[in-house]
Amino acid sequence: MNDETLNNLLAKANECNNTGNYDEAETLVGVLLAELEKIGESTDTVIARQSDTINCEALITLSVAKWRRGVLEKALGLARAALDLTEKKNLPDKTNANAFDNIAIVYANLSDYPQALTYFQKALAINEESGSNEGIARNLGNIGIVNQDLSDYPLALTYYQKALTIYEETGSKDGISINLGNIGNVYLNLSDYPRALIYYQKALDISEEIGSKDGIASNLGNIGIIYQDLSDYPQALTYYQKALAIYEELSSKDGSARNLGNIGLVYQYLSDYPQALTYYQKAIAINEEIGSKDGIAHNLGNIGNVYANLSDSPQAFTYYQKALALFEEMGHKDGIATNLGNIGGLYANKEFDGYDTDKAEEFFLSALAIFEDIGAKKNLYEVHKYLAELYETQERWKEHSIQFKKFYTLEKEVQSEDVHKQAGLMEQRRQAAEREKEIAIAHAAANARHEATVQLLHNVLPPSIADKMLGGTKLIAEKLPSVSVMFADIVNFTKLSQRITPEELVEGLDRIFSTFDALAEKHGLEKIKTIGDAYMVVSGAPVQREDHAEAMAHFALEMMDAMKEFRSMSTGEEIQLRIGIHSGEVVAGVIGKKKFAYDLWGDAVNTASRMESHGEEDKIHVSEDFKHAVETQNIASLQFIERGEMEIKGKGLMKTYYLQKATL
């Protein structure tokens, strides 16, 4: 492969990462790295530098696929290898900056924020020096994410806005979508739901437009959080489950863990504590696997909340302490404050063995100070409420009044009627948009002008038949005087299926039938259907042809040759085929109103089926009518071996033959 081909492979792999097709991205990078290894080191300085650059970028692309799945340790190893290569070989600025940026992202995902910021700043410096707007925007956005994780929301917002401005100038829809979503996250943390919804909706629209599955899932999950905070739990659960389904499709462990935890939260709010614990434990297991301290800490704190609700204060206290220790280790202010408040709640509980109002007040005030500092209004009003309740039990009425007023004012601001209305309107707009899409698709199918509809009909029906339907023909049925019909069946399939896994069964049939489909297309035949392990095909329909028997004969022989390549992966045994063919008259047509099917009927179909069922393994059993149809073409490469007369069910005595290649 030359450099242009290698770069094209790399570009395709990056595109796969952007659209969430991580399996394909890893496959393409694997091919690329294998080719580079074949090439080896060149003595030509220019060629060697080009190969090293492509090698480094490929390692970065593979690392991206890994960290987007949540496989962080492998991602970190690849990121380090890429960085070592670019520093050792003094590669171009763009590659050097990409290597720093990528390893910073991995550290951010590992909650090592100081390391992440250090590498992001290095990448930013290189991109600013080289004037790479794309690189600058990416680095600014990533620095914003780290500051958001550190609960410095004003600074995060500043970086996101700078990145967004550059992406809008360059027209990068992917970059615009990501930063709109990130800005939405800041407003969500600040409990400014109207603004958060606006930004999430904009980000979601662009993600759907460009086909970014990861972006779609991220914004669906974020919108779910808003519904959860507004106590609309059914709607929240719907959005979380949609997001989870996409993340599982993408094999994104980080995204799956995040939404499993969020679903746990919904069940906790619905007081279904066993379900909540189940989802939290699933989320923790994945977060431990990928090394996400942030994810572990959040779910530990949530498990503590479940035990608190179950009045198991000792267990709750243990989980809160574990979560607090992790958040303090990461410098995660929001998490620290949340768990300080939770521990304060335990000390304020008279049923708790460690009941201590002084400690409760101390922890509440510490949490309050942090929430005020970071501007987290929802958390803030909750702590004001807890303090008001604490002061009430102590009959400290003045302090109670102050805290209750602050709680009341903030709660009304955050949980305003306008917010609920806006969330409802947004959902209505989404439903309306989905209905409009359905109407547009139905309209396209009805008037047959939509290219996608035409292609769909061509995929499920023979093109000539599809064109008749698109032209308005309601009933499609015709008598064809002479066609050749084949049935092929895998020998002892039922016994084989009992000895292999369901996955191997389906994958094996798919490979075999896909091979047959390709051969049918090569010879101009029409596949009618598959029935379990049986394959039915016709030659001479719907487009009639004089050489239908000859085409079918060559197709059958090539099928037999192709089957020699197939073996069971589990058992290693050969997979054998039995084929039956007959020529004669059939009736052909389309049945169904919603799910269309082109099918054949008549004695010729039944006779072809009998040829197959009365045949032998690895042989092509044909009728005398088929033999005569072939011989009219005088094909020297084909040979018929007489089997003699035999009783055929429903037909009586018939003279039949075995078809094979002619011997010299």
What is the rounded distance in angstroms from the CA atom of residue 647 to the CA atom of residue 650? 9
Domain stops at, among 108, 131, 154: 131
Q: Residue-wise over 275-288: b if at least 16 C-beta within 10 A, else e?
A: ebbebbebbbebbe
| Cis peptide bond prior to 542, omega within 30° of 0 | yes
My answer on whether 506 and 624 are in the same domain is yes
Helix (H, G, I), strand (E, B) or coil at 646: strand
My answer on whether 427 and 349 are in the same domain is no
Q: For residue 571, what pLDDT is reported?
A: 59
Q: For residue 140, what pLDDT is reported?
A: 96
Q: For residue 365, what pLDDT is reported?
A: 94
- Are 547 and 503 within 8 A, CB to CB? no
My answer on whether 550 and 575 are in the same domain is yes
Helix (H, G, I), strand (E, B) or coil at 596: coil
My answer on whether 481 and 628 are in the same domain is yes
Q: For residue 132, what pLDDT is reported?
A: 92
My answer on whether 387 and 489 are in the same domain is no
Which of 240, 187, 198 is CA-nearest to residue 218? 240
E-strand spans in 398-512? 477-490
Tally of domains within the chain:
4
My answer on whether 499 and 631 are in the same domain is yes
- Residues spanned by the domain of 566: 467-661
Residue 190: inside a domain, yes or no? no
Q: For residue 449, what pLDDT is reported?
A: 46
Q: For residue 8, what pLDDT is reported?
A: 87
What is the rounded distance in angstroms from the CA atom of residue 165 to the CA atom of residue 157? 12
Enter the tokens of residue 61: 């692309």
Query: Pairing relation of β-strands 526-531 and 597-601?
Result: unpaired
- Are 655 and 645 within 8 A, CB to CB? yes
- Are 283 and 261 within 8 A, CB to CB? yes
What is the rounded distance in angstroms from the CA atom of residue 609 to the CA atom of residue 157? 70
**Domain with 46 in it: what CATH number?**
1.25.40.10
Q: For residue 193, what pLDDT is reported?
A: 80
**Domain with 573 in it: what CATH number?**
3.30.70.1230
Enter the tokens of residue 639: 């040979």
Q: For residue 448, what pLDDT is reported?
A: 43
- Backbone φ and ψ of 284, nearest 5°: -60, -40
Residue 240: inside a domain, yes or no? no
Domain stops at, among 131, 166, 191: 131
- Are 571 and 501 within 8 A, CB to CB? no
Q: For residue 564, what pLDDT is reported?
A: 82
My answer on whether 578 and 525 are in the same domain is yes
Residue 266: inside a domain, yes or no? no
My answer on whether 25 and 41 are in the same domain is yes
Residue 166: inside a domain, yes or no? no
- Are 113 and 144 within 8 A, CB to CB? no
Residue 276: inside a domain, yes or no? no
Domain stops at, among 76, 108, 131: 131
My answer on whether 436 and 566 are in the same domain is no
My answer on whether 479 and 607 are in the same domain is yes
**Helix segments in 90-192, DSSP class H:** 93-109, 113-130, 133-149, 153-170, 173-189
My answer on whether 439 and 485 are in the same domain is no
If one counts every other C-beta atom within 10 angstroms of the C-beta of residue 394, the result is: 12
> The whole model's pTM is what?
0.52
Rounded (5°) CA angle 382-383-386: 90
Residue 260: inside a domain, yes or no? no
What is the rounded distance in angstroms from the CA atom of residue 591 to the CA atom of residue 576? 32
Enter the tokens of residue 407: 């709680």
Q: Going from the first residue of the chain to its last (664 residues), give the mean pLDDT of each consecutive group of 10, the final group possibly shorter.
A: 78 81 86 80 62 90 86 89 90 90 89 89 93 93 91 89 94 94 90 85 91 92 89 91 93 91 94 94 92 90 94 94 92 89 93 92 93 82 90 88 85 60 50 50 48 55 66 72 93 76 81 90 89 89 90 94 72 81 89 72 89 91 92 78 85 90 75
My answer on whether 114 and 36 are in the same domain is yes
Q: For residue 300, what pLDDT is reported?
A: 97
What is the rounded distance in angstroms from the CA atom of residue 217 to the CA atom of residue 220? 5
Q: For residue 318, what pLDDT is reported?
A: 95
Residue 244: inside a domain, yes or no? no
Residue 563: inside a domain, yes or no? yes
